A and B are shown apart, each in its own frame.
Chain A
């Protein structure tokens, strides 16, 4: 029977919603097999985060709470995870496919000589075995794969597993002892550049408005793209072209080498639609393209296309959506 461990992700105690996709994956994996799943929260003063995860059907929500674990450092976190896997007889470890999990989980897997699959989008059962689907080649190929071994590690594409409904608060809370003096200390955390705005993260938002080459400078980006995003309570994003020209910061880039987004509504403004950008938005429910060039490839994937100048269309659209 599978015994799955879900690695929770949070930002100083604030739960990252992508965690819930990994929880949904675990719940589905144990649904027909009679197994169970655990959730592990690592950090300092994380009891609130753990509490927020008690309603999703985990047998236990584990906390590894220690000052040494305040920041997400891969050497310490991987060792804590490997310890939990051994102590609780875990057979599968899952986390959201984020930079956090991608940094830490392969390290934990190797400590246990376990194999790993990244960016899993589906699972099904074949007798006693799981069969997974995952994306490769920047989303251009979907592979159906098996993974051998008594312990398996996975990252889950958040867009592929809808967040579970909250149930009654049923998971037991359990604090894991942390032997701080035995944790490795190769890494010294130096902080993270604060986020630019109070807007939601593009990987979590229901609406994402992204700007591309048509936007000429940061002021225009903020006024046009930011303005429309704010009118819709959405997040902002950017094409690689705009990042490379220095107008927007790296952290806004949507695409294969940036963020993979899956909002209900994605509005691409002045974005031509390079393959690497499309790889990051193909799971959006509805795509709107606004572009001067009627031949731009973005129109081939857009549900609604409007040919025209962003500088004229966006103020009008923002005004009409605000009403």
Chain B
């Protein structure tokens, strides 16, 4: 069994995001980066499946600049068997990312793909679904429970939808996108880091893949949202009720 796990390099979730004064981009000065947390959950799930089955090959793939090697090394230290960086000079939008992943998928022919439901930087939540459409295979998004069935030809998934947990079964191969509660990713261990140094990390030039990756999305400006002002403190329940009824008029 082979599982492909795309991982994105993103600003660490605990980093406070600052913008450049002209609003042209995020101010990356001094920002710490990590694997997109949802992708780390996807990788953890792939590792658990490997542990359960006894044998599987887990391939982590990232798309971006040379700096993504840092996150791929973390992925290898967590337990991925090999890694691949598709080098791109510029940031790609989800449709372009899905096209690149399609090319990688066709090269690698995995049994399925596990990836985060969204990246915590652009919050698009599109690439997995787009990849599934392009490959004409099934998808299961927002997955918080995953179980392989019928000799690994199907996956039964619990999906975190707005209405509650939905259960569905998808034929494999498929794209499975992971939600927060699927698992808690392991920390990398020192032996893991040492081993990762010897694992293969292949770099692929975007031009090798023959994919048209012009991004459709053009960002014109970034701004901070208007901040809510803090209001008043009330001392008693009566005062609160009065304010809600007569001042805010919401009840």
Residues of A at the B interface (CB closer than 8 Å) are 11, 73-75, 78, 98-100, 102-111, 113-119, 131, 135-149, 184, 186-195, 201, 203, 207, 232, 249-251, 257, 259, 264-265, 282, 285-288, 299-307, 313, 316-317, 320-321
Shortest distance in angstroms between B215's beta carbon and chain A's nearest beta carbon? Answer: 8
Q: Is B165 within 8 A of A250, CB to CB? A: yes
The reply to whether A115 and B171 form a contact with Cβ atoms under 8 Å apart is no
The answer on a CB contact under 8 Å between A143 and B240 is: no
Q: Is the interface of B mostly helix, strand, loop or mixed?
A: mixed
Whether A74 lies near B139 (C-beta < 8 A) is yes
Q: Mark B217-237, 1 if CB is under 8 A from A, else 0.
A: 111111111001011111111
The segment from B71-79, B140-148, B191-199, B202-210 found at the interface with A is: B140-148
Q: Which of chain A's residues has its CB closest to B141's CB?
A: A103
A142 engages B224 (CB within 8 Å): yes
Inter-chain contacts of A135 with B (CB < 8 A): 123, 225
Is the contact region of chain A dominated by helix, strand, or loop, or is it mixed?
mixed
Question: In the bound complex, do residue A188 and residue B168 qualify as a contact, i.e. CB atoms below 8 Å apart?
Answer: yes
Q: A255 to nearest B CB, angstroms? A: 10
Does B144 lie within 8 Å of A250, measured CB to CB?
yes
- Which A residues are in CB contact (< 8 Å) with B166? 189-193
Q: Which of B50-58, B60-68, B128-136 contacts A (4 or more CB under 8 A)?
A: B128-136
Nearest chain A CB to B108 CB, angstrom units: 19
For the complex of A and B, 10 pairs with smallest distance between CB atoms: A186-B138, A115-B216, A190-B167, A303-B231, A110-B130, A110-B133, A106-B129, A106-B126, A265-B250, A99-B161
Which of A194, A201, A286, A300 interacts with B248 by CB under 8 Å? Answer: A286
Give Cα A104–Cα B161 distance, bound, in whole angstroms. Answer: 12
Q: A106-B130, A138-B120 are in contact. Are A186 and B171 (CB under 8 A)?
A: yes
In the complex, A113→B138 CA distance in Å? 18
| Residues of chain B contacted by A137 (CB below 8 angstroms) | 17, 26, 120-121, 123
A residues in contact with B123, CB < 8 Å:
118-119, 135-138
Distance (whole angstroms) from the CB of B230 to the closest CB of chain A? 5
* Chain A residues closer than 8 Å to B222, beta-carbon distance: 136, 141-144
What's the count of A-B pairs with C-beta under 8 Å?
243
Q: CB < 8 Å: which of A115, A140, A264, A307 contacts B217?
A: A115
* Bound: A145/B215 CA distance, A: 12
Residue B211, interface by CB 8 Å: no
| Minimum distance in angstroms from A8 CB to a CB of chain B | 15
Q: How far is the CA of A107 from the CA of B135 in the complex (A)?
A: 11
Closest chain B residue to A116 by CB distance? B126
The residues of B that contact A138 with a CB separation of less than 8 Å are 120, 123
Known: A137-B120, A142-B223, A304-B234. A99 touches B216 (CB 8 A): no
CB distance from B224 to the nearest CB of A (A): 7
Say if the beta carbon of B6 comes within 8 Å of chain A. Answer: no
Contact partner, A107, options B130, B217, B240, Cβ 8 Å: B130
CB distance from A47 to the nearest CB of B (A): 22
Known pairs A190-B156, A251-B162 / 8 extra A-B pairs, C-beta < 8 Å: A106-B133, A141-B224, A144-B219, A186-B138, A188-B168, A192-B166, A193-B165, A317-B240
Most buried by A among B26, B159, B166, B243: B166
Q: Complex formed: what's the CA distance from A270 to B222 in Å?
A: 34
Residues of A contacting B162 with CB < 8 Å? Answer: 98-100, 201, 203, 251, 259
- B96 to A, closest residue via Cβ: A115
- Are A304 and B244 neighbours in the complex by a CB distance under 8 Å? yes
Complex Cα spacing A118 to B250, Å: 30
Instruction: Please tell me which one of the listed residues B95, B136, B221 contacts residue A143 in the complex, with CB atoms under 8 A apart.
Output: B221
Q: How far, in whole Å, are A142 and B226 apart by their CA atoms in the complex? A: 10
Q: Are A187 and B169 in contact (CB under 8 A)?
A: yes
Question: Inside 8 A of A75's CB, which chain B residues have their CB?
Answer: 138-139
Smallest Cβ-Cβ distance to B127: which chain A residue: A106
A102 to B220, CA, bound (A): 24
| Residues on the A chain within 8 Å of B232, using CB | 303-305
Q: With A141-B19, A188-B169 known to touch, is A195 a contact of B125 (CB < 8 Å)?
A: no
Contacts of B131 in A (CB 8 A): 110
Chain B residues with CB below 8 A from A302, complex form? 230-231
